[in-house]
Amino acid sequence: MRPNPFQLKHQDPSGARRGQLNLSRGTLQTPAFMPVGTAAAVKALTPEQVEGTGAELILANTYHLALQPGHELIRKMGGLHSFMAWKRPILTDSGGFQVFSLPKKQVDEGGVTFEFQKGGTPMKLSPETSMEIQESLGSDIAMVFDECLPFPCPYDQAAKSIDRTYRWEARCQSAHQREDQHLFGIVQGSVYEDLRVRSAEQIMSLDFDGYAIGGVSVGEGLDLLKKVVNWTAPILPRDRARYLMGVGLPEDILESVERGIDMFDCVIPTRYARGGTLFTSRGRIRIEHRRYRRDQYPIDHTCDCSTCRTFSRGYLRHLFQAKEILGQVLCSIHNLRFYQRLMARIREAIEQDRFAETKRQILEELSAHAPSAR
Amino acid sequence: MRPNPFQLKHQDPSGARRGQLNLSRGTLQTPAFMPVGTAAAVKALTPEQVEGTGAELILANTYHLALQPGHELIRKMGGLHSFMAWKRPILTDSGGFQVFSLPKKQVDEGGVTFEFQKGGTPMKLSPETSMEIQESLGSDIAMVFDECLPFPCPYDQAAKSIDRTYRWEARCQSAHQREDQHLFGIVQGSVYEDLRVRSAEQIMSLDFDGYAIGGVSVGEGLDLLKKVVNWTAPILPRDRARYLMGVGLPEDILESVERGIDMFDCVIPTRYARGGTLFTSRGRIRIEHRRYRRDQYPIDHTCDCSTCRTFSRGYLRHLFQAKEILGQVLCSIHNLRFYQRLMARIREAIEQDRFAETKRQILEELSAHAPSAR
């Protein structure tokens, strides 16, 4: 038996939880945000730069790594940490979300069969192969392989699906071997309260090291996110980590923390950064806007990231105009640091029993108008 | 009068020179290689990463910066150093090379008129405007605006051209004002010995702070490069810096150092790196080659760059395969460090009067077969 890695340290009157995850490669303060390093790299950044933003845990994608360079290769290279030179903890997803997004696939009780390249040999991802791949990668936290539903999804299909997800997660539990890797279950159930509850009960009966809520990441909106978390989080075991997969915008994170979520991952900060959309304490800005042409101020004067300490908005705008990669690098650093500072602020507020107030404050800041040039 | 920034410290029996350039923002050991930061950024790298490779001076392009974001903007933002957060010295070219490469342009005694954007207002670059732009940028070393010839170029055209170049450089000399910015002259003359000699004499009569040799960068081959440097370098003043513009491959640098050149710039290390071609002490390698798939060794086991200290060839190959920007970043660091280590080795050899021997050794290493995977 692996010990439960989660330790609940404090709960705020609002319901927000302050905890920590004790993993062999490092201790993680929660609520926590994980940058996404899909292909064994947080896009555009060196591990040192990612560490510099304060990230204590990153996510890597099983599906992408299994296809390229291949999990066997990564295992032979000493595992994912060694391969990508990231010393802190890594969480791997199961690959389920990606294979269910493929246009051409065949799903049966065994798993999902799909073509990697047009005309290539069909590949199969199943509960057992997902466990095998994640064990080869050697992540600190592995995720179970679940059935991911389209959105929207009819009730009958969702009802059938959670039973299969239950059977698949039980198979993951049986197949999983590594004692040095935690395994998290995933609750599904689409937008139906009774299915979410039934799925949570089924999955909890398998006794995982932590619990994730799946199926709310893909732009279904904040109202639905709140509903699903409201139905699910309260019935999850109080003493286990709760992870809301693929979420989200700062607003989504605030609402979810209030409902008792501990962990988040999302491509938004890095993807937005590469496109020139930056988070600031006075709302989002589009750095390519003409108003920043001669702007000598940093992206956010309250930010302590290496980009804000060194470069002006005017320079960053120029880098985007000139299509210089460096613009994407510097803006990725800023957005990731913004997210880590957001989480630090959330954690501090919870410790001081004033999360609700801090949440209000932050929401106000987020909806502020973008700062003007001068 | 600005003081001559160059100080010749030692000359090796082969003719190679060991010197230093004393600039207000830092002292530069020569022979020196300048990374190219065309649009106020050394492609893909932060100033910190560039500094980490050991670069003491970088080159920025007048033409590109004048068009975007504009030199007036950069001046208002506190000058180029402040704009791009590079504290060490910067050399700017004159823009001549770029405007003469444009397909549509009109050249007369005044300067070169060209269209920036199709249908846009015609712009003119002249000796006077080039000086004005470079003074706005505030580089430590400015280059004169010369007439750049096509290659090959008939004798009569080249002969006429060096006289115009002489008149233009004299106009640069008159127009140039900044006392805190050195101005280097450029010798032209295409592939004709008598024209190279005449151009050198004309330009020397103007008494510049340093002398560049132009027109040998664009792939004319090593034999021609040797000839042109042989004709020109010996007649340049012994006590002034000699800069071979746009050169080159390590082999080109070695031959030119032996012929008394002190300074170099070239896009090769960064451009090759972004394309996955890496310099090593055992020849060049193509990192995307299948042989590096499972290669756990660094690019070059003799290299002390942050990439070689941290990442394997197998990981770098994967980054290129996965089209991750990080691959370009990490390989750019390595290639620039390779060039700086090459220059350091050259400088040390000159100090110890064994440049010829070191050159032979390095040439042997450069032509070695690429290392195999295991």
- Summarised one tens digit per residue, pLDDT across range A147-161 is 998 888 999 999 999
Decide which of B115 and B146 is more confident: B146
pLDDT of A374 over the 50 cut: no
Average pLDDT over residues A111-136: 90
pLDDT of A208 over the 90 cut: yes
Task: Confirm whether B265 is a catalytic residue.
Answer: yes
User: What is the structure's pLDDT at A61?
Assistant: 97
Rounded distance between C-alpha atoms, residue B354 and residue B348, angstroms? 9
At residue A216 the predicted structure's pLDDT band, cuts being 50, 70 and 90, is confident
At residue A120 the predicted structure's pLDDT band, cuts being 50, 70 and 90, is confident
User: What is the structure's pLDDT at A1?
Assistant: 64
Measured CA to CA in angstroms, residue A7 lies from A10, A238, A350, B313 at distances of 9, 10, 15, 40
The number of residues making up chain A comes to: 374
| pTM for this model (two decimals) | 0.96
**Closest residue to A315, CB basis, from B76, B83, B328:** B83
At residue A372 the predicted structure's pLDDT band, cuts being 50, 70 and 90, is very low
**Contact residues on chain B for A40, CB-CB shorter than 8 A:** 315, 318, 322
Considering the domain delimited by B6-30+61-266, tell me its CATH architecture: Alpha-Beta Barrel (3.20)
User: What is the structure's pLDDT at A12?
Assistant: 97
**Closest residue to A321, CB basis, from B69, B311, B325:** B69
User: Regarding the domain with residue range A6-267, which homologous superfamily does it belong to in the CATH classification?
Assistant: Queuine tRNA-ribosyltransferase-like (3.20.20.105)
pLDDT digits (tens, 9 = 90+) for B174-203: 999 999 999 999 999 999 999 999 999 999
Contact B293/A at CB under 8 A:
yes
User: What is the structure's pLDDT at A148?
Assistant: 93
Residue A373 CB partners (closer than 8 Å, separation 6+): A291, A292, A293, A294, A295, A313
Question: Would you give the end-to-end CA distance of chain A in angstroms?
Answer: 60
Other beta carbons within 10 Å of A346: 26
**Closest residue to B44, CB basis, from A48, A77, A326:** A326
Contact A267/B at CB under 8 A:
no
pLDDT digits (tens, 9 = 90+) for B225-277: 999 999 999 999 999 999 999 999 999 999 999 999 999 999 999 999 999 99
CA A11 to chain centre: 22
Rounded distance between C-alpha atoms, residue A11 and residue B64, angstroms? 56
pLDDT digits (tens, 9 = 90+) for B67-100: 999 999 999 999 999 999 999 999 999 999 999 9
pLDDT of A41 over the 80 cut: yes
CB contact under 8 A, A329 and B44: yes
Residue holding tokens 């151009």?
B199
What is the per-residue DSSP string for B281-330?
BTEEEETTSGGGTT--S-S-TT--SHHHHH--HHHHHHHHHTT-HHHHHH
At residue A201 the predicted structure's pLDDT band, cuts being 50, 70 and 90, is very high
Residue holding tokens 């220059």?
B343
Contact A45/B at CB under 8 A:
yes
At residue B374 the predicted structure's pLDDT band, cuts being 50, 70 and 90, is very low
Residue A214's DSSP bridge partners are none
| Mode of pairing for the β-strands spanning B90-92 and A263-265 | unpaired
- DSSP 8-state secondary structure symbol assigned to residue A32: E
Could you say which of B12, B93, B252, B295 is catalytic? B93
**Closest residue to B324, CB basis, from A41, A77, A310:** A41
Residue B28's DSSP bridge partners are B21
**Contact residues on chain B for A293, CB-CB shorter than 8 A:** 69, 73
Percent of chain B with pLDDT over 70: 97
CB contact under 8 A, A322 and B39: yes
Mutation pick from A317, A326, A374 vs chain B, by most beta carbons of B within 10 Å, is A326
Residue B271 CB partners (closer than 8 Å, separation 6+): B43
Q: Which of B116, B20, B5, B118 is nearest to B68 (CA)?
A: B116
Rounded distance between C-alpha atoms, residue A186 and residue A146, angstroms? 7
At residue A369 the predicted structure's pLDDT band, cuts being 50, 70 and 90, is low
Measured CA to CA in angstroms, residue A286 lies from A38, A252, A277, A290 at distances of 25, 21, 5, 9
Phi-psi region of A269 (alpha: psi -120 to 50; beta: other; left: phi over 0): alpha
Rounded distance between C-alpha atoms, residue B29 and residue B17, angstroms? 11
- Give the domain ranges of chain A: 6-267, 273-364
At residue B370 the predicted structure's pLDDT band, cuts being 50, 70 and 90, is low
**Contact residues on chain B for A66, CB-CB shorter than 8 A:** none
CB contact under 8 A, B43 and A69: no
Distance from CA of B80 to the nearest CA of A (A): 10
ipTM above 0.90, yes or no: yes
**Closest residue to A329, CB basis, from B46, B306, B312:** B46
Mean pLDDT across chain B, nearest whole number? Answer: 95
For A16, the 3-state DSSP assignment is coil
Burial of A304 (0-12, 13-18, 19+ CB in 10 A): exposed
**Contact residues on chain B for A322, CB-CB shorter than 8 A:** 39-41, 64, 68
pLDDT of B10 over the 60 cut: yes
Could you say which of A12, A93, A140, A295 is catalytic? A93
Q: In what order do the strands lie in the sheet with A105-108?
A: A105-108, A111-115, A122-125
Task: Confirm whether A304 is a catalytic residue.
Answer: no
DSSP E strands, chain B: 6-11, 17-23, 26-30, 32-34, 58-60, 90-92, 105-108, 111-115, 122-125, 141-143, 182-187, 210-213, 241-244, 263-265, 277-280, 283-286
Could you say which of A140, A265, A295, A300 is catalytic? A265
Q: In what order do the strands lie in the sheet with B122-125?
A: B105-108, B111-115, B122-125
Average pLDDT over residues A263-282: 97
Q: Which of A347, A344, A256 is nearest to A302 (CA)?
A: A344
